[in-house]
Structure 1
């Protein structure tokens, strides 16, 4: 079952936010059947943001933070989960309102929110495909023809129009390299940047400068397309996901 993450204060009195969340945990049909993973705030209405976001990234799902919660905590959670899952802050004074808030954030998640620049999404899919196909230079088999990149196995043909631009941008950044064969280019990931590339795939985050270059088009895509990057979530530094 899909998961929704809810942060709330510790129980203080009957009918408070903690009690309402517990009621929803016991009766999931009231908010669409989503499994609730609740986290209790620390005494100062904050979270261990690193630990919380790490859990969310391992099993992606929308996040609902119930007030009162520190504004800095909200800011950090949104920063770390930016472009990954919806993060919504709400009030919870009665069960109907809480269920509505849960249903709303789950609906946003199912609808593909948040969205990311199309070329950013294509860049991640392209890096994933080259890695999964073992394209890290070496002999001729360590390179892939540009025309073969948008032919399934992780990069849908519908992205073929964006692949040349994304390849060129990644080439400028040294993330991919190429060799010429029969007057045509073949591409591979740069083995000298292996750890950086796996870091990008694991965190689903590109350097700010590269992200800006790939965000100049008005076209966007749902980040749910990038859920295929889950294979990198538990990988150690310098290691890829399952091949």
Structure 2
């Protein structure tokens, strides 16, 4: 395992894993999978990954896309063009759209939800970093070369790792690289990035609530209510998320999950 002493977003994490792969396993294929996603069909997942290996071995960065079933505004999209042997050419990545735009993507038929799952040769990602984000690559390399290890894994020095520019792999590489390939995902996928998604995948009661921990909920509907410490009581709530931890409490409409990041950024400041 590789241990980050502080979060520097996904570009640093991918650069670090790529360095590790090159030094320990050579120019192997690498698969990047976000940890906060639900993949419910394991066999179909690995079959989809296998479908992308030929393009990845040829040196292309490969992304997996989900054919949209509704005009979802909480996901990023991939626009694709030509197709050969089940592999599509990516025209562009698109940020989370508004409802009208998302509906137009659905109608167009050549847009896919971006799962954020990537497959590539380690050398292809290294070359992309040196072309587009050499500063991130160099800073990560310095931190990696100074790492210490014990039985549990490899540890980066805090001061060196904190010096790596913080940005996402999407902004740093995927939205700038050319000749990216897309494989349609044949697996069930849910980005657990919204309260609604947690309601969709969690064990719900007869009123559509997902209750976690020491909670008393009376006359509540379609709400995500979680307590990690003391008793949490709620009455007459609908479409609301409440999360109570030992040191903080969060309350918001289920539909406003995108604003959580703003709160986190404000707290960090």
TM-score range (shorter-chain normalised) is under 0.3
Q: Which has the higher contact order (CA 8 A, sep 6+)?
A: 2
Whichever structure has more strand as a proportion of its residues is 2
TM-score w.r.t. the length of structure 1 is 0.26
Whichever structure has more helix as a proportion of its residues is 1
TM-score w.r.t. the length of structure 2 is 0.25
